[in-house]
Amino acid sequence: MKKNLFCFVILLIAIGLFAEGFEFLGIRSGMTKEEVKKVIDYDKLSNEGSYSWIKPKSDFDNNNVIHLIQHGDAKENYIDKNYVNKFTEYPAYEIQFLYTDDNILWKIQIDFERSEYTEKSFTIDSISQLQALESSFPNAEIIVSDIDRNFRSFIYVILIDIDVFNEAVTKKMNEYLIQYKE
């Protein structure tokens, strides 16, 4: 457990060396959930009858995350294809907006399905895709996954505002300290 926590802290420090806030399609770190909802046109994306670009709450427990569905069968089942905007047209598999307990945006994770990946080697197409993402997101942490059980592989682009993150961790830690001292 300590080793995992240590690795997580090192990762966050490494991200912090590069990240001083971020912006993605008009969304900036530190925005409130309500501000982000206005930018992504949340009401329109989530209230199109039984179809929605927003993953239903039953699909996740955490109220501090908004998932924009961009992919496959979920897209077929949930999405009203008559409504599009810059987020619905963005070539990602899924976009996640993560908030602090105070509803402040601290992280965006953009998942891209890897292009033409084979288990034994990278192809020119997949290397080009990775290099394009590294160029497009120079201050992001980029993680390349292995093939999953559905024979897909992903590139995760993670944008973190380390200042917002640290402030939220400090606040939460202080809440725990109060609990543990009583």
Asked if residue 93 lies in contact with residue 154, where contact means CB atoms within 8 angstroms, the answer is yes
Q: Provide the pLDDT confidence category of residue 58 given band limits of 50, 70 and 90.
A: very low
At residue 164, the pLDDT reads 96
The distance in angstroms from the start CA to the end CA of the chain is 25
**How far apart (Å, rounded) are the C-alpha atoms in residues 85 and 69?**
13
Mean pLDDT of 128-146: 91
Q: Looking at the predicted structure, is the pLDDT value of residue 172 above 50?
A: yes
Q: Tokens representing 116?
A: 């033409």
| pLDDT 10s digits, 99-124 | 899 999 999 999 888 876 555 556 78
Higher pLDDT, residue 153 or 22: 22
Mean pLDDT of 8-25: 63
Buried b (16+ CB within 10 A) or exposed e, 10-30: eebeebeeebeebebeebebe
Domain residues of the chain, as ranges?
2-181
At residue 165, the pLDDT reads 95
Asked if residue 115 lies in contact with residue 129, where contact means CB atoms within 8 angstroms, the answer is yes
Task: Write the DSSP assignment of the chain as a string of letters.
Answer: -HHHHHHHHHHHHHHHHH-S--EETTEETT-BHHHHHHHHTHHHHH-BTTB-SBPPGGG-S-TTEEEEE-SHHHHHHH--TT---TTTTS--SEEEEEE-TTSBEEEEEEEEEPSS--SS---HHHHHHHHHHHHH-TTSEEEE----TTS--EEEEEEE-HHHHHHHHHHHHHHHHHHHH-
Residue 158 exposed, middle or buried by CB count within 10 Å (0-12, 13-18, 19+):
buried
Mean pLDDT of 132-146: 92
At residue 125, the pLDDT reads 82
At residue 141, the pLDDT reads 95
Higher pLDDT, residue 11 or 35: 35
Mean pLDDT of 138-144: 93
Whether the pTM exceeds 0.85: the reply is no
At residue 152, the pLDDT reads 75
Q: Tokens representing 180?
A: 């543990």
